[in-house]
Amino acid sequence: MSEVSLTGHELIQDYLKTLDGSPGVYRMLNTASEVLYVGKARNLRARVSNYARPSGHSGRIARMISETASMMFLTTRTETEALLLEQNLIKQLKPRYNVLLRDDKSFPNILISREHPFPQLKKHRGKRSEKGSYFGPFASAGAVNRTLNQLQKVFLLRNCSDSMFESRTRPCLQYQIKRCAAPCTGKIDAAGYAVLVADAERFLQGKTTTVQSNLAAEMSAASDAMEFERAAALRDRIKALTQVQQSQGINPAGVAEADVIALHLESGQACVQVFFIRANQSWGNRDFYPRTGAGAEEAEILEAFVAQFYDDKEPPRLILLSHPVENEDLLTQLLSDRAGRKVEIAVPQRGEKAELVENAARNARESLARKMSESATQNKLLLGLAEAFDLDAPPTRIEVYDNAHIQGSDAVGGMIVAGADGFVKSQYRKFNIKSDAGKNSDDFGMMREVMTRRFERLLKEDPDRKSGSWPDLLLIDGGAGQVSAVGGILAELGVDDIAMVGVAKGIDRDAGKEEFYREGLPVMALQRNDPVLYFIQRLRDEAHRWANGAHRAKRAKAVSVTPLDDIPGIGAVRKRALLAHFGSAKAVSRAGLSDLMAVPGVSEAMAKTISDYFSAKG
């Protein structure tokens, strides 16, 4: 790295002396050694020389150059490697002038599991480690659930767990409402169920005409044989199948598999819409709002989005874009390498593919308009919050805390985050209370533990406050006592510059008469019709919902825990078998060796282990 004290284009000019024409990645840093921008190049010297010119740059690039105080370089063997390294560094470093995909959650799939003789139909998210047939991605859990709901009506496949399947002695409600063929109790044999599975797979592969004609033929045959009840059941399945096809909306005849990606850019803000087309069916859409790198243009935004979007997802055979990207050949090579097969990128100009892109672009335009309107309202509320509580500026990150427990059991602390874009759910956190404060129903002690853990971690991971993870306003559920306690904790940690407000209901506990507590200031209230009051109530209610949800999940998990979990050699299968045989862990503890050995999977040695365990417990 250069030791000269130059900045801007003069400094960049000085770096050209040490560069050659190798492909690679460069980083531009400011005087505080913060990474401003990460870029890739087919020829590092040629690419960096563009920044060495004193003029002819866009406003965004000119600002970036003027802030550059040093540069770093990494050479690679190929430009494809450089593109991959560039995107990894962008996701890791989040430079200010780069385009960044901020919401990168995995997408759900439908799985027909093959782990059991009677396959299960279910939703799946994450690594495809389970044996079976996967269909997706779907844009959201809602899109999967709607499709699963209809598929159960059409194909009557089970959605129960394997353990539930094995324990049934009579059909469940799903069979009664005609959403399962009840293979668990022999209402259908393996061969008949396999036909249903094959039909479901054909439908999810796009062979809907074959499935529908087969059902119609079966219905006609049943009617001719005067099996009117069976004919009526088949009619209902055909009706459900038609509803599935109608609910999917767009069903392109000429596009079997593609992701349709359209960008709308306005006033420096971008929305990208992604539509998933699989098996000639639309499996939903999702909108994204990437950070635009302080003013990047469409080609750069879309290229960065595509490269980052498929970082952990398998790309389809065809990607339809609304705008050309800067390095289409490079991007195509990268995605093809990731998929292990050819991937095509196209910007269609006419025909059905162009109509698909136009539909996605319209959705992107409308979504961005709604987002900008919501942001304007949110910014107005944040400004009102600053005025109401005499803050130096509208808060960019608000953290709201609440605790949940039942008489000290399964105590959990919850933290939610809100800012200019509304609730930031990816930043929500829960804290399992580890100290005796939870057992003692000590709300002050629980809050002390939560706040200590939260801010000790912040001080450790981001002492210079560069990551954006530090709040500038804390909302605490409670009055003067809670505020004083939290203030003392922060003072002990040396954090004394974060505004804090305690939110407590008034004397008559009436919502709308909240009182607000701040250290060293008198209690205050807001007018009942003040929008800021409604905003604070929404924040508090969301924190309450989140903490209660975490508490319920912890309580439900605790209910499923039994003494059997602590016995060596007792796994999930043996545990289920023992509970199914005896009815409870207490009954297992009282059982004799011969009774224990009567349980499938429990040998004489295992029966003795179980008996000895409970004998030692007394």
Q: Which residue has the higher pLDDT, 369 or 579?
A: 369
Give the pLDDT band of residue 251 (cuts 50, 70, 90): low
The pLDDT assigned to 439 comes to 64
Peptide bond into 137 cis (omega under 30): yes
Q: Are residues 202 and 128 part of one domain?
A: yes
Residue recorded with tokens 């709300």: 443
- What pTM does this model have? 0.73
- The answer as to whether 606 is a domain residue is yes
Of the listed ranges 190-204, 310-324, 503-517, the one predicted with least confidence: 503-517
pLDDT value at position 248?
52
Output the pLDDT for position 3. 46
* Residues in the chain, total: 618
Kindly state whether residues 592 and 552 are assigned to the same domain.
Answer: no
Distances (CA, A) of 318 to 261, 273, 331: 11, 16, 13
Asked if residue 264 and residue 204 are part of one domain, the reply reads no
Of 247, 268, 285, the position where a domain reaches its end is 247
Kindly state the percentage of the chain with pLDDT values over 90.
Answer: 47
User: Per residue in 99-108, pLDDT tens?
Assistant: 998 766 778 9
Is 391 contained in some domain? no
Both 229 and 314 in a single domain?
no
Shared domain for 147 and 171, answered yes or no, is yes
Q: Which residues contact 481 (CB under 8 A, 6 or more apart)?
A: 444
**Mean pLDDT across the stretch 394-403?**
94
Residue 605 phi, psi dihedral angles, 5° rounding? -65, -40
In a domain, 383, yes or no: no
User: What tokens does 579 get?
Assistant: 């509970």
Say what the pLDDT of residue 263 is: 96
Cβ neighbour number for residue 56 with a 10 Å cutoff = 8
Question: With 90 as the cut, is the pLDDT of residue 442 above it?
Answer: no
In contact, 373 and 267? CB cutoff 8 Å: no
pLDDT at 175 over 50: yes
Q: What is the mean pLDDT of residues 541-566?
A: 77
Q: Note whether 571 and 488 are same-domain residues.
A: no
- Strands (E) located in 130-210: 132-135
Question: 368: burial class by Cβ within 10 Å (0-12, 13-18, 19+)?
Answer: buried
pLDDT for the residue numbered 594? 86
The pLDDT-based confidence of 281 (bands split at 50, 70, 90) is confident
- Residue 2 pLDDT more than 70? no
Amino acid at 578: L
Q: Is the pLDDT of residue 349 over 60?
A: yes
Of 54, 75, 97, the domain-final residue: 97
Answer for the pair 387, 403: CB distance below 8 angstroms, yes or no: no
Total domains present in the chain: 5
Residue 140: inside a domain: yes
Residue with the bigger pLDDT between 269 and 557: it is 269
In a domain, 409, yes or no: yes
- Residue 499 confidence class, pLDDT cut points 50, 70, 90: very high
* Nearest residue to 55 via CA among 5, 9, 11: 9
When mean pLDDT is compared across 158-162, 407-411, 551-555, 614-618, the lowest value belongs to 407-411
Q: Are residues 527 and 581 in the same domain?
A: no
Helix (H) or strand (E) holding 102: none
Q: Which of 40-49, 256-265, 547-556, 595-604 has the lowest mean pLDDT?
A: 547-556
> pLDDT class for 246, splitting at 50, 70, 90?
low
pLDDT at site 455: 94
Does 113 lie in the same domain as 84? no
* 139 in the same domain as 208: yes
Encode pLDDT of 408-429 as tens digits. Answer: 567 888 999 999 889 998 899 9
Q: What is the rounded CA–CA span in Å between residue 85 and residue 93?
A: 12
Residue that finishes a domain, picked among 212, 247, 282: 247
- Residue with the larger pLDDT of the pair 181 and 404: 181
CATH code of residue 64: 3.40.1440.10
CA 122/CA 469 separation, integer angstroms: 36
294-329 pLDDT, tens digit per residue, is 788 999 999 999 999 998 888 999 999 999 998 999
Q: Out of 219-228, 389-398, 481-490, 512-521, which region has the weakest mean confidence (pLDDT)? A: 219-228
Residue 102 lies in a domain: no
Is 360 within 8 Å of 284 (Cβ atoms)?
no
- CA distances (Å), 472 to each of 254, 419, 499, 535, in order? 52, 10, 6, 17
User: Which residue did the predictor score with more confidence, 327 or 555?
Assistant: 327
In a domain, 525, yes or no: yes
User: Mean pLDDT over all residues of the chain?
Assistant: 87
- Picking from 33-42, 90-99, 102-111, which range would have the lowest pLDDT averaged per residue? 102-111
For residue 47, the model assigns a pLDDT of: 93
Least confident range from 50-54, 400-404, 431-435, 505-509: namely 505-509
CATH number (domain holding residue 472): 3.30.420.340
Residues 528 and 576 in one domain: no
* Whether residue 351 sits in one domain with residue 262: yes
Instruction: Provide the domain limits for residue 219.
Output: 109-247
Q: State the average pLDDT over residues 354-373.
A: 93
Report pLDDT for 382.
95
Most confident segment among 217-226, 256-265, 579-588: 256-265
What amino acid occupies position 509? R
Question: What does the pLDDT read at residue 134?
Answer: 92
pLDDT attached to residue 322: 97
Q: Percent of the chain scored above 70 by pLDDT?
A: 92
Identity of residue 491: A
Distances (CA, A) of 509 to 139, 505, 548: 42, 5, 20
Separation between Cα atoms, residue 479 and residue 150, nearest integer Å: 50
DSSP E strands: which ranges in 420-456?
422-423, 429-432
Residues 239 and 213 in one domain: yes
